[in-house]
Structure 1
Amino acid sequence: MGAIGNLIWFVCGGVFMGLGWWLAGLLALVTIVGIPWAKACFVIGQFAFFPFGKEAVNRKDLYQQDDIGTGSLGLLGNIVWFIFAGIWLAIGHIFSAVACFVTIIGIPFALQHLKLAGIALAPIGMTIVPKEIAAAVRSETAKEELYRQRRR
């Protein structure tokens, strides 16, 4: 199902949202100071081309350690990103989701657009992984939280 969903997604408009992410990445790359945002744009742009079977997860949860994008600098980067590009990419995904929701067949595609809209708001500190790995990360994080709650 994932391969068929990705093919239909790509042909029916996913290519445009992926190119939108890559365009934002190129604009960020040109500014030199935007290189961290450019990297995130290219990774998420590839995800926007073929989103079925993949999910975004926090790198801190995946690797169980902080890095420059998951700490306070990542928060600052996400705030700057939100103001200059995130809100606009999110709006594009939301409009695309509404257009997809009009038909019953388009509902899975609308859900993918909403997932991408959420990522568009704060992409720094996130990475894209197969959905099985994302489920394992969520499970491991839940187990750690349960352990912390029980120790209280």
Structure 2
Amino acid sequence: MKPMQIVWRRLVMGGETCTRCGDTGRELEAATAQLAAALRPLGIEPVLEMQQIDEAAFKSNPSESNRVWIAGKPIEEWLGAEVGMSRCCSVCGDSDCRTIEVGGRTYEAIPQEQFIQAGLMAASQMLAPASPLNRGAASCCSGAAGAPPSAPTPNRASGDCCG
């Protein structure tokens, strides 16, 4: 199985996290289980890693709490989301904490549907074949688009494939 790394970071103080992060964690665990079932036939296994940040790291950069990466990219990149901040509670004190905005909706706790969407996008990219430039002359110089393979391409005569 090919691992699809999912990393979630959040503030933890005295074994506690805020409601926002707690809700996100439950949603992420449910989404990871659904992704595991959906991706198993494709040979991809989501692997969830939960990381804690301490109070000092949180105070220096609160937007690092409740942050998720899927297959090496932040979830906001997969979803085309904007990152924002809003007032949080309890463990976070009076700090503003991370939010994401997707399709005009702002989420403090990220719902599992967003994780599933991002995970499926990541899996699709993991399964995508190499680009024609990486496959060699047989693939990229076999003919112009829409033309039969025997039709000459501009670079075929020189042996220079795809540029």
TM-score w.r.t. length of structure 1? 0.32
Greater radius of gyration (CA): 2
Q: When you count strand as a share of all residues, which structure comes out higher? A: 2
TM-score w.r.t. length of structure 2? 0.30
